[in-house]
Amino acid sequence: MKLSFLSVFLTSALALPSPRSTRNDIPPFFLLAGDSTTAVQSSGGGGWGDGFINTTLHQGAKGINYGHNGATTVSFRSGGDWATVLSKVEEYKSDYRAFVTIQFGHNDQKASANISIAEYTSNLEQFAEDVKNAGGTSILVTPLSRRNYDNSTGTPLVIENLADQRAATIEAAKNTDTSYIDLNKASTDYLNSIGPADAYTYNLASDDYTHLNDEGSIVFGGMVASLIDQDFAELKSDGYVTVKAKLLTALEKGEYYWP
């Protein structure tokens, strides 16, 4: 089943359009806040963050991955990670355009976290407001899809078990007039297009359908960059956030890509 990833861009990058169209000589600095599906690759997790930072940022654009394995919208704040992110916004905003990507949900949805959807939404709204108050630009990110499939109909389709968190993230963005990218929809559609056998090659471990290996980080980090470019077009046109042509083509066509 082949889906047009370009069509996903048009429906998933539904955030506020950037009002700027002329070149900006101030490069962006991305601070990534999230759980293990954003975090660096390790024995306990791994997400899209390092692939995004290491392969899509150019011409002085930089980033730091503050994704934290096991983090929720509550623990990321209470454990001090969020204070660190905000301090970095203050530090870098004079020399860069400070962006903060905010992606949670995988751990917030666990019963053991005891976080309701209403609280999850409110926590995301507060994160977005905190970034604005610190002088940065927040981008809410719907959670990366897991790679679990249902084959009961004869056609393997991703089990959309983060639908509530996706909807809540979009609601939080709209409630706070904040940009967002719909990574959940984009990743779900792409995984449906390539099928489970290819999708599993991105697993951190053979039986880990949540976290990404190095190659998966590059692929889905490129996906994040492509979605951001849809909302902040000047970042692409100015050469700060760009995706390798072969990867971008594969994403647009819904075709499997191995870096």
For 213-240, the pLDDT digits (tens) are 999 999 999 999 999 999 999 999 999 9
Give the pTM: 0.91
List C-alpha distances in Å: 160 to 55, 77, 147, 209, 225.
28, 27, 9, 13, 22
**Single-letter amino acid, residue 197:** A
In this structure, what are the phi and psi dihedrals at residue 222, rounded to the nearest 5 degrees?
-65, -35
Is pLDDT of 254 > 80?
Answer: yes
**Is 30 strand, coil or helix?**
strand
- Most distant CA pair in the chain: distance in Å? 55
Q: Which two tokens stand for residue 157?
A: 């389709």
List C-alpha distances in Å: 51 to 125, 206, 217.
26, 20, 5
List, in order, residues 6 or more apart from 87 with CB less than 8 Å away: none
pLDDT at residue number 24: 77
Cα 203 to its chain centre, rounded Å, is: 17
In this structure, what are the phi and psi dihedrals at residue 170, rounded to the nearest 5 degrees?
-65, -40
**Single-letter amino acid, residue 171:** E
For 169-209, the pLDDT digits (tens) are 999 999 999 999 999 999 999 999 999 999 999 999 999 99
CA distance 166 to 76: 19
**Is 224 strand, coil or helix?**
helix
Please, what are the domains in the chain?
5-15+26-253 (3.40.50.1110)
